[in-house]
Amino acid sequence: MTEARKPVHSGGCQCGAVRFAVYAEPLHSAICHCRMCQKAFGSFFAPFAVVELGQFVWTRGGPTIFASSQISQRGFCNKCGTPLSCFSNGSAEINIPTGSFDHPEKLPPTFQAGIEGRMPWFADMQSLRGKTTDQLMPKQVLKELENRQHPDHDTPAWPPE
């Protein structure tokens, strides 16, 4: 069955096995610093867009679910490992990692949760020196690099034949 509505946002995992569509703007976007989110993402925090369940659908495949607690389930791609969702039992909302959206720049965080787990040096990150990928990698490596990541838009099938 084809969805008649036009998505406001779309996204998916790194390999393209799982894709989703969002049919309304998220309720809000947040960063969670709690230890459970840190472990789930292997990072210092987890960025999420909170979406009403009725405005969300998996359009290709679906996540594998891990019950990270008695009240929460986390979804991830079982092919590439990308975190894809966090859902609390009985909730009318689903948390979708903003990095899995095709255009995460359109979903800036507006709230921080779990601040008891925030790294004490987090506020200093903006002052760290930085380099672009082009500055870090030799030109020949970049030229020969084969990106196997799904593109940031919907495709009829993936991977390409």
CATH code (residue 109): 2.170.150.70
Calculate the average pLDDT of the chain: 93
pLDDT of residue 123: 87
**E strand or H helix that includes residue 136:** helix 133-136
- The answer as to whether 140 is a domain residue is no
DSSP 72: E
- The answer as to whether 160 is a domain residue is no
The string over 102-132, giving b where at least 16 C-beta atoms fall within 10 Å of a residue's C-beta and e elsewhere, is bebeebebeeebbeeebeeeeeeeeeeeeee
Question: What range does the domain containing 93 cover?
Answer: 9-120
DSSP 8: S
- The answer as to whether 114 is a domain residue is yes
Where do we find the tokens 């800036």? 108
CA atoms within 13 A on the CB side of 69: 11
Beta carbons of 58 and 7 less than 8 angstroms apart = no
- The answer as to whether 146 is a domain residue is no
- The answer as to whether 39 is a domain residue is yes
pLDDT of residue 139: 85
pLDDT digits (tens, 9 = 90+) for 121-130: 988 988 999 9
- The answer as to whether 134 is a domain residue is no
Q: How many domains does the chain have?
A: 1
Threshold 0.85, pTM exceeds: yes
Strand order in the sheet with 83-88: 64-66, 72-76, 83-88, 93-97, 46-52, 28-32, 111-113
- The answer as to whether 43 is a domain residue is yes
pLDDT digits (tens, 9 = 90+) for 74-86: 999 999 999 999 9
- The answer as to whether 142 is a domain residue is no
Q: Between 141 and 46, where is the model more confident?
A: 46
